[in-house]
């Protein structure tokens, strides 16, 4: 069913690969002790779910388009939308935010253990030499999102970048959370579509 040789001649495949997110690419198993221990090893050549060595395979049916982002939120990036619109020959671009450039908050996972390291990418619509915004974390309480923890100021001024990479620590409490970029003087903001949602499991 998935053999590239079975592709009908009228069908064209286009491949898109998410990159630059912390991704498990293998696991070391030590069975010499008791209990057996497991140690994953990672790199940043994947989308947080699928390593590029796997996702980039096209069976000689083209070259994958590589877009910075994770397995899910890569579809919220401006670069993905531009690629999709260009494929269909549509020149109109969706308005992502009414007044400010948008940035996607990309996470390497959707569920974390309490206190686990989180790989976070801030992906602006287009390359920029200035990013000034405030990262705010909220926790789901019933149907509301309430502030959680300390907000973080993010300021970057330098050469033009496609994304910023950082590490955060997952909250110690279980529950649902959302990360937004906000601020009255922010250069980049998130929307419902570009914010990051994640859960912390019970330990």
For residue 96, tell me if it sits in a domain.
no
Cα–Cα dist 81/94, whole Å: 8
Segments forming the whole domain that contains residue 187? 103-200
In the chain, how many domains are there? 2
For residue 95, tell me if it sits in a domain.
no
Give the CATH number of the domain where residue 107 resides. 2.60.40.10
For residue 48, tell me if it sits in a domain.
yes
Let me know: does 81 contact 104? Beta carbons within 8 Å: no
Residues 75 and 131 in one domain: no
pLDDT per residue as tens digits for the range 27-77? 999 999 899 998 888 999 999 999 998 888 888 888 899 999 999 999 999
pLDDT per residue as tens digits for the range 107-157? 999 999 999 999 999 999 989 999 999 999 999 999 999 999 999 999 999
């Amino acid at each position: 069913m998935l053999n590239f040789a079975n592709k009908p001649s009228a069908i064209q495949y286009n491949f898109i690969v998410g990159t630059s997110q912390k991704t498990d690419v293998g696991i070391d198993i030590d069975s010499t002790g008791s209990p057996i221990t497991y140690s994953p090893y990672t790199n940043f050549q994947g989308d947080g779910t699928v390593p590029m060595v796997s996702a980039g395979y096209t069976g000689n049916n083209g070259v994958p388009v590589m877009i910075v982002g994770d397995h899910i939120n890569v579809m919220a990036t401006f670069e993905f939308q531009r690629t999709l619109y260009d494929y269909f020959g549509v020149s109109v671009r969706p308005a992502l935010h009414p007044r400010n450039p948008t940035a996607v908050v990309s996470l390497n996972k959707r569920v974390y253990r309490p206190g686990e390291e989180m790989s976070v990418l801030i992906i602006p619509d287009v390359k920029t030499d200035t990013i000034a915004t405030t990262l705010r974390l909220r926790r789901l309480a019933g149907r509301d999102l309430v502030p959680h923890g300390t907000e973080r100021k993010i300021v970057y001024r330098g050469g033009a970048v496609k994304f910023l990479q950082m590490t955060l620590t997952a909250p110690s409490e279980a529950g649902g959370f959302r990360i937004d970029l906000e601020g009255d003087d922010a250069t980049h903001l998130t929307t419902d579509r570009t914010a990051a949602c994640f859960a912390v499991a019970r330990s």
